[in-house]
């Protein structure tokens, strides 16, 4: 991930819900799903809102000034993972979206954001080739 | 179905399946029509012939109600003959204002839902090959249709009492049935071991769907199917807690707190990816439910009485 990289949510096919600060993301194309702890949710949400990785690093470094190196490593690492898993896609050149500020998780010290990947549902998708159809109608019978 | 009779509009396609069902019913001596209370709605099954109706309704017999002139969903079921739609394995989905419609077919079966009309179709090549249909009939149709009624078809078990129940979440083969049956043997009511229905409003509630239980008596042994006894069945109960079941191989069972996010991660993906469900609605519904009840991790031991006691303690 380059400096000043900006992203947007890869939705669709990614859907997500945030509950009590934790986020569940599902990539409907691959069947992989993800659990993000509150700090990972915050970082991911900020990137989806249009903040660059550098801006997120700066913000967290202001909150945890003694941890700048770890903050930079972890935020960039998480951004890389989110892109690798096709949860975020590049949106360089896009303007930052003005949204209500996200609530920062209650942390007394910087802890590495936790991002868990689950792939146990992928087999189901491979077994069931899904063909979405548009409003024009159902598939023609053979 | 004749190619020439079909038009591209979805509304024009599915009625042809009804015509195919009508012809089969005519040949079988008419429809055997039955009504079932599925969560908060009445569903009407129109089966072509009594034998088919007996097999298909075995798992949901405890939910049967008297005839009503207005069912929220009508499902036509017929068997025999050639595939009414090609026969190649595939799934098609179409989302409209009325919810998710779909058609999925294979060589030996076809299921479809016309959400706008509230009509479903199930065709089977033969009754003998319909194992999954006997144990969990209409799962794809109900999973696609129920979210439009504010209900989620969840891949989870549930046990409890009339005043409260615990949802049991785990991947397939990882302890849901074992835990549900241990709890039923210990006197808790049974709502399901693999599937139950959940509503978030007005208060989190679990509803039973199937009363047949599949079990593996031993490694390599064929699956056994049995009915849960009527006195063990619970039709619905307020949802008090979600338990993420994790077998440990140890004797004793321990519990610990889990987050709502972990609970959703344990239930939602299989609930929305196994069947043609409207995925965002399922994820949103389960998230709302998990956020409003306690969530726990049950590190399930091999002592069945201890396991049941640990689950009961969550009520």
Residue B2: what pLDDT? 26
Q: Which residue has the higher pLDDT, B5 or A4?
A: A4
Task: Please give the residue that has the higher pLDDT: either B178 or B221.
Answer: B178
Whether B151 shows a pLDDT value over 50: the answer reads: yes
* Exposure class string for B199-225: b at 16+ Cβ within 10 A, else e: bbeeebbbbbbbbbbbeeeeeeeeeee
Which among B141, B126, B142 is positioned nearest to B14, based on CA atoms? B141
Mutate to test the interface with A, among B83, B287, B291, B293 (most CBs of A within 10 A): B287
What would the mean pLDDT of B294-314 be, rounded to a whole number?
A: 97
Q: What is the pLDDT of residues A6-48, one digit of tens each?
A: 899 999 889 999 998 999 999 988 889 999 999 999 999 999 9
Residue B6 has pLDDT above 70, yes or no: no
What does the pLDDT look like over A41-60, one tens digit per residue? Answer: 999 999 999 899 999 999 99
What's the CA gap between A96 and A107, in Å, rounded?
Answer: 26
Say if residue A125's pLDDT is above 70.
no
Q: pLDDT for B22-57, tens place per residue?
A: 999 999 999 999 999 999 999 999 999 999 999 999
The ipTM, to two decimals, is 0.72
Tell me which residues of chain B have a C-beta less than 8 Å from any C-beta of chain A. Answer: 1, 3, 6-10, 12-14, 85-86, 88-94, 96, 103-104, 171, 259-262, 264-265, 268-270, 272-274, 279-280, 283-284, 287, 290-291
Residue-wise pLDDT for B79-107, tens only, equals 988 777 766 677 777 777 778 888 888 88
Instruction: Identify the CA nearest to B301 among candidates B240, B229, B253.
Output: B253
Instruction: Provide the pLDDT for residue B99.
Output: 81
CB contacts of B260 in chain A (<8 Å) are 19-20, 22
Nearest Cβ partner for B283 among A15, A121, A140: A15
Percent of chain A beyond pLDDT 90? 58
Residue B283 has its nearest CB partner, among A26, A35, A116, at A26
Asked whether the bond before B195 is cis by omega within 30 degrees of 0, the reply is: no
């Amino acid at each position: 991930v380059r400096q000043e990289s900006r992203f947007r949510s890869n939705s669709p096919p990614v859907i997500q819900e945030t509950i009590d600060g934790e986020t569940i993301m599902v990539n409907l194309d691959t069947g992989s799903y993800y659990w993000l702890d509150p700090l990972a949710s915050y970082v991911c949400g900020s990137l989806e809102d249009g903040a660059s990785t550098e801006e997120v690093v700066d913000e967290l470094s202001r909150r945890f000034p003694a941890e700048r190196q770890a903050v930079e490593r972890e935020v960039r690492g998480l951004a890389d993972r989110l892109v690798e898993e096709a949860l975020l896609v590049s949106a360089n050149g896009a303007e930052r979206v003005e949204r209500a500020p996200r609530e920062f998780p209650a942390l007394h010290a910087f802890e590495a954001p936790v991002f868990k990947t689950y792939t146990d549902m992928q087999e189901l998708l491979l077994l069931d080739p899904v063909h979405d159809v548009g409003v024009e109608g159902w598939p023609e019978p053979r | 179905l004749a190619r020439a009779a079909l038009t591209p509009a979805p509304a024009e396609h599915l009625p042809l399946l009804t015509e195919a069902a009508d012809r089969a019913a005519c040949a079988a001596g008419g429809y055997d029509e039955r009504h079932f209370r599925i969560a908060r709605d009445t569903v009407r099954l129109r089966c072509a012939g009594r034998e088919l109706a007996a097999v298909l309704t075995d798992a949901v017999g405890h939910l049967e109600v008297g005839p009503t002139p207005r069912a929220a969903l009508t499902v036509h079921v017929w068997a025999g003959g050639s595939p009414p739609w090609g026969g190649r394995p595939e799934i098609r989905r179409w989302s409209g204002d009325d919810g998710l419609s779909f058609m999925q077919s294979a060589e030996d079966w076809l299921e479809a839902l016309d959400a706008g009309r509230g009509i479903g179709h199930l065709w089977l090549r033969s009754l003998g090959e319909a194992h999954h249909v006997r144990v969990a009939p209409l799962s794809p149709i109900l999973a696609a249709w129920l979210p439009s009624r504010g209900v989620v078809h969840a891949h989870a078990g549930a046990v409890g009492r009339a005043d409260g129940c615990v949802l049991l979440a785990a991947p397939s083969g990882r302890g849901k049935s074992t835990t549900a049956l241990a709890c039923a043997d210990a006197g808790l009511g049974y709502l399901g071991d693999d599937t139950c229905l959940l509503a978030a409003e007005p208060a989190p509630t679990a509803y039973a769907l199937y009363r047949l239980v599949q079990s593996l008596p031993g490694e390599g042994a064929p699956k056994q199917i049995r009915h849960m006894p009527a006195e063990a069945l619970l039709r619905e109960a307020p949802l008090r807690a979600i338990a993420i079941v994790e077998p440990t191989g140890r004797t004793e069972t321990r519990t610990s707190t889990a987050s709502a996010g972990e609970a959703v991660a344990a239930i939602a993906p299989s609930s929305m990816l196994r069947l043609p469900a409207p995925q965002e609605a399922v994820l949103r519904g389960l998230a709302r439910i998990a956020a409003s009840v306690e969530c726990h991790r049950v590190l399930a031991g091999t002592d069945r009485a201890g396991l049941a006691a640990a689950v009961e303690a969550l009520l």
